[in-house]
Amino acid sequence: MRFKGTIMKTHSLKLLALQVGLIASANALTIVEDPNNPNGYLLSRQEINAARDAKASDPMYQIWAKALETRDNSIVEAITPNNASNPENVKRVERVFGQQEWDFLTGMAAPEYTYTRFLRAIGKFPAFCGEYTDGRDSDAICKKSIITAFAHFAQETGGHIAKDNISDNPQQLEEWQQALVHVREMGWSEGQPGYTTGCGQNDWQNRRWPCADGQGYFGRGAKQLSYHFNYGAFSEVMFNGDATVLLNNPGLVADSWLNLASAIWFFLTPQAPKPAMLHVIDRTWVPSQKELAAGIGYGFGTTINVINGGIECGEQNRTKGQPVNRIRYWEGLSNYYNIPIEADEENTCWQQTPFGSLNLNGSADVLYTNWEADWTYHSDRPGGQSFECKLVGYQTAYSALVPGDYEKCVTNFYQSHVNWPNVTVVEKLDPPKDKPPVDGIAAWDATKVYLKGDKVSFNNAIYTAKWWTQGDQPKADGGPWAIVK
C-alpha cells in the first residue's frame, strides 16, 4: 500500500469576506483574510465539514468508516478465551472457530501466534465477525472471513512443505494447515535497519510517518506489514492517531497481538479503488460496471486482487506460484470447512485485470477514499484557488475514512499541495468589518438587487453594474461589474 504551499497575493489591511457558492455543491464557502497573517485566510469549520459531508454523502462512506472503528486497547487486552466479558464479535469467533480449530490450522505456527492474540486482534475491530441486522447470516460470514484469512496466511507466512515430506513435515499436515510459521520476514531480525526506502525525504509521507533512526520496517506479522508508511498508518489506528508508537517500535508487530491485528486491519481497509476484503465476502461491496467488464466480481479471486493483484492476477500470472498456492489453500480450507461457494464467485483472478491497471476515472458507480487538493479554478476566489479538496482514486496524505483528514487536506497539514493557500480553520468567523463608502457611494450589499448603471463602492473603489445582478461580488476582471475608479 503506497500512499506532493503558499500563494502570494496583495494584502489589504481591511478584512475581505467572500461569500460564494461551492462548485458542484449546494454548500457555501466563506473565505476571509486572516488579520493575523498577511498571506493567510480563515475558513469556518462548520462550512468545511458541510463541504466534506456533501462530497462523501454516499452511505458507503459511513459503512467503510464503521468497519474501521476500534475498541480501546485496555478492553482488548482483557480478552481471554471463554471470558464472559468478551465482546460479542469475539464470542461469535469462539463459537464458529474455537481453540480446537485454531490448533488444527496452526500446527507449525510460531509461538508468537496464539489463539488469545487472535481473539484480541478481532476484538480490536467490532466489524470483524460483527452482527448483521439485515438478514445476512452473521455466523456464516464470520466463518468465511476467517477461512479466507487463513488461506492468505498460509501463503504469506506458511511452511509450504509437501504433505509427503515426512522429514520436514512429520505430522503430514496439509499445506493449508501450515499457516503463521513466520513472524518476521525471512532473513531479517530485530535490530536490523532495513526497508527504509523513502525514509528521510522531504515529502508528506515522512511528515506524516517519520522513520525512526536505526529501525527496520521489514515484513512482520501474519500479513507481513512492510515499509514505514504502513507501520505509521497501522499505528494511527491502533494507538488513537499516534503514528510514532510503531514507527519507533516496529517489533511490536511481531511480538504482541498486533501480529494478527495488522492482518485484520488490512482485511477491513479499502485501498482506493480496491474494496475491503470483508466487503467482498459479505457483499456489501457492489462491483462497478467497469470492474465487471474487467472480470472483477465476487469470490476468493478478488481478495487475491486486493492483496497483490499487480503481481498475481491477469492471464500472464495464471500459472504463477503465489496465486496457484492461494487458490489451492482456499479450495482445501473451504472444502474442509464446508464453506459454500456461490454460483457467481470465482476462486481465481487470472481472468481479472489487476486493480492497479484498471482506470476507473469517470465511473459514476465507483467511490474513492482519499482527499486531494482540488485545483479547479475559481475566478471569484482569492488567487483563483478553490480552497477545497476532492476525492481521488489513489492514495494521498488524507483519507476520507479518517476523522479530521478533510480539514487537514484543506489546511495542507502535511504540506502535500504545492502552492496551496495558507488556510486556518476556525470555529466561528467574525463578520466582515464595514467599509466606508467611496465619494458618498453606498457600499455593495450582497443581498440587494442592482440594475444596469447602479453604482456601489467596494474595497476602496467604485463599480457600476453592467446588467441586472444580485450577490455577485464586484471585481475588476469581468462579471456584471465594471470598475469606475
Helix (H) or strand (E) segment spanning residue 457 = strand 455-458
Mapping DSSP to helix (H, G, I), strand (E, B) and coil, where does residue 381 land? Answer: coil
| Long-range contacts of 193-198, Cβ-Cβ distance < 8 Å, separation of 24 or more | 194/218, 195/219, 195/226, 195/227, 195/228, 196/228, 197/227, 198/227, 198/228, 198/229
Q: At what angle do helices 88-96 and 115-123 cross, to 10 degrees?
A: 140
Known catalytic membership, residue 342 = no
Could you tell me if residue 474 is left (phi over 0), alpha (psi between -120 and 50 degrees) or otherwise beta?
A: beta
Which one of the listed residues 156, 291, 346, 388 is annotated catalytic? 156
- Could you tell me how far CA 370 lies from the centroid of its own chain? 6
Candidates 34, 39, 40; CA nearest to 15 is 34
Quick one: cell of 482? 465594471
Candidates 119, 113, 64; CA nearest to 93 is 119
Distance CA 178, CA 155 (A): 9
Q: How do strand 389-392 and strand 449-450 relate by DSSP bridges?
A: unpaired
CA-atom Rg of the chain in angstroms: 28
Interacting residues of 207 by C-beta distance below 8 A, sequence separation 6+: 414, 415
Distance CA 36, CA 461 (A): 24
- Could you tell me how far CA 312 lies from the centroid of its own chain? 23
| Other Cβ atoms within 10 Å of 325 Cβ, number | 18
Per the CB < 8 A criterion, the answer to whether 303 and 266 are in contact is: no
Environment class of 201 (CB within 10 Å of its CB; exposed 0-12, middle 13-18, buried 19+)? exposed
What's the distance, Cα to Cα, between the start and end of the chain in Å?
57
Q: How do strand 40-44 and strand 422-426 relate by DSSP bridges?
A: parallel
130 phi and psi angles, rounded to 5 deg: -80, 180
365 phi and psi angles, rounded to 5 deg: -105, 20
Distance CA 142, CA 125 (A): 13
Candidates 278, 276, 349, 280; CA nearest to 312 is 349
Candidates 241, 232, 301; CA nearest to 262 is 232
Q: How do strand 370-373 and strand 389-392 relate by DSSP bridges?
A: antiparallel
Could you list the active site residues? 156
